[in-house]
Structure 1
Amino acid sequence: MTILNYETGPIKAEAAFTSDFPVASEINIHDLVNMQEIERRSMDVRPGMRHKYMPLGFDRFSGALWTGGRYLFDTWENVKDYERFTSKELEFEPGVKFWSRPFFINVQRYIWRVAGAHDLKPLATSHHVVRFERFSTSHTNLEQVLKDAWPALRDKAQSLDLSSVWLLFNEDEHQVSIVTVAAKNDTGDAVDDSFRALARLESIPSLSLLLPAELKLAKLFDRTNPILAQWLPLSRIVGGEPSAYPMSPPLPAPTVEKQH
């Protein structure tokens, strides 16, 4: 099977969801990749999900695994439904709601409206590393300001040879966020190629510098990670791959039975 149904160009998505958290030390990378591949099958069937990137990182001091998600949804109603479902209904251990699992530590999660999102390169071949930046702002009319700024930010991402860019905002939380995605150049050395891709994306000056000074942005969060997994419901529903592991190798792929 191949990845189907994801085209380059503007993405028709009104909403996004993000989460970030470390996992407890008893969960290793192989546990994590198998767990999410099994649990994905109860989650990516929720209405309106376009796709998810699952990042993987390590705390530089404790060595703890960090993960989470960067999702796009077609409508605000569907992202609200996903947040409600995962918070109030979903249980993989009886009596324990999904976000309350004891091995998820200090989960930070947000829902967002989309000012703009664009795949500049094919998701199937060119989405390997992802950067997520989150900012506070004192501005009270984010939608119009960000939509006006979006074309310049998108064009800059294209000039930097990035693979995808999203510009997001949350009026209630007074926050703005930017998701950027880049490709890994394949020279045959998977480890070195991965380090180079991460270092390049991390070193690019933040696209927030293109946003109006009136927003008075203050950075709250900035992480660049390999994409451990992609959830691909639009591909699954037309008979393509339901998920992908673009950084395997060097990261592990799941060893559980594939979904058919």
Structure 2
Amino acid sequence: MSATVRGFKLGEINAAGAATAEFSLVGHPPLQQIANMQDMERRIMDARPGMYIKYFPCRYDAVTGDLKVGGGYLFDSRQNAEGYNHWATNEFEVDGPGEPPKKEKFWSRSIFKDVQRRTWDVIGACNFTFPDQHAVVRFQRWSYTDTAGDDNAIALLKQTYEIIRETARKRRGAGAVWVLIRPEDRLIGMVTTVSKVADGNDSTEAGNMSIAELERQPSLGAHLPPQLGAVEVYNRTSLMLTIWMPTSRLAGGVHQTTPNFPLLPAVTNLS
């Protein structure tokens, strides 16, 4: 672990709630602008109660060219994940377009489109390496059709979590795995991270190889209990633009990290 990243431990993460968001950015803004903008907002947002970490993925769509971004957050409780979502939806305001700029609620801002956001219960989450090494992230969702009730689905996932975790641990570059469930929508989520591939001297080549490496790994969904009738409905692998680290900040370490620099820009407004 970097000497300036503090507070994180290897092994099981004490998190019971999670939040995810996926959306596109309007107008193809430069990545440096996005890196700086999200860090200014991080200084307010990562102080919300119970936040452990946030992954900030980004990837350009191969067909439309849209910049696909989002977030994967862990919290100490589902209640705090819900509280964060409510606050960002209804209370937190940011500057919108115009001169002088008009205030917009965060999740209703005009630069965002096709927003999907959810809160989750955490079945299990584990760090295999320290988060400053988590450079690539894969987020997957499945719908499930278990008819025996929510408690049964949760119990089945808990029984399977150890197999999923240990399978993920053995893979090349393993960084972390989260297994999530949202019973009210009958959805299962998984977040998987790996380190970047260091082969070659070209950072663009290494970035493409890093995405390809995680995409090539067989889906951990193969270990979902067959009784759930799980059907994959979403699967995206992205490089991390930044990682918010409130756990490190509270322990006197760095507040955020940019694991794919120099391929992706580092934050420059550090004042």
Normalised to the residue count of structure 1, the TM-score between the two structures is 0.96
- Within a 5 Å distance, the mapping from 1:79-228 to structure 2 comes to 79-93=81-95, 94-124=102-132, 126-139=133-146, 140-141=149-150, 142-161=153-172, 162-187=174-199, 188-228=201-241
SS at match of 1:7: coil
Which stretches of structure 1, 4 residues or more, deviate above 6 A after TM superposition?
Answer: none
Q: Which residue in the other structure is 2:99 paired with? A: none
User: Which runs of 5 or more residues in structure 1 are unaligned?
Assistant: none
Q: Which residue in the other structure is 2:262 paired with? A: 249
Amino acid in structure 2 at the alignment position of 1:173: D
Deviation at 1:227, TM superposition (A): 0.6
Amino acid in structure 2 at the alignment position of 1:210: H
Normalised to the residue count of structure 2, the TM-score between the two structures is 0.92
Q: 1:227 to 1:26 in 2, by over 3 A?
A: closer
Q: Distance in 2 between matches of 1:70 and 1:63?
A: 22
Q: Distance in 1 between matches of 2:183 and 2:64?
A: 34
Deviation at 1:121, TM superposition (A): 1.3
Q: Distance in 2 between matches of 1:122 and 1:189?
A: 24
Deviation at 1:28, TM superposition (A): 2.0
Q: Could you tell me whether the CA contact under 8 Å between 2:28 and 2:67 is conserved in 1?
A: no
Q: Distance in 1 between matches of 2:88 and 2:141?
A: 22
SS at match of 2:253: coil
* Paired-residue identity, %: 35
* More displaced stretch, 57-66 vs 180-189: 180-189
Q: Distance in 2 between matches of 1:191 and 1:28?
A: 17
* More displaced stretch, 167-176 vs 248-257: 248-257
Residue-by-residue CA offset, 1:30-65 (whole Å, 9 max, x unaligned):
111110011100100000000000000111111010
Residue-by-residue CA offset, 1:136-170 (whole Å, 9 max, x unaligned):
11123321111110000001001113110010000
- Within a 5 Å distance, the mapping from 1:1-40 to structure 2 comes to 2-40=4-42
Deviation at 1:26, TM superposition (A): 4.7
Q: Which residue in the other structure is 1:239 paired with? A: 252
Q: Distance in 2 between matches of 1:235 and 1:164?
A: 17
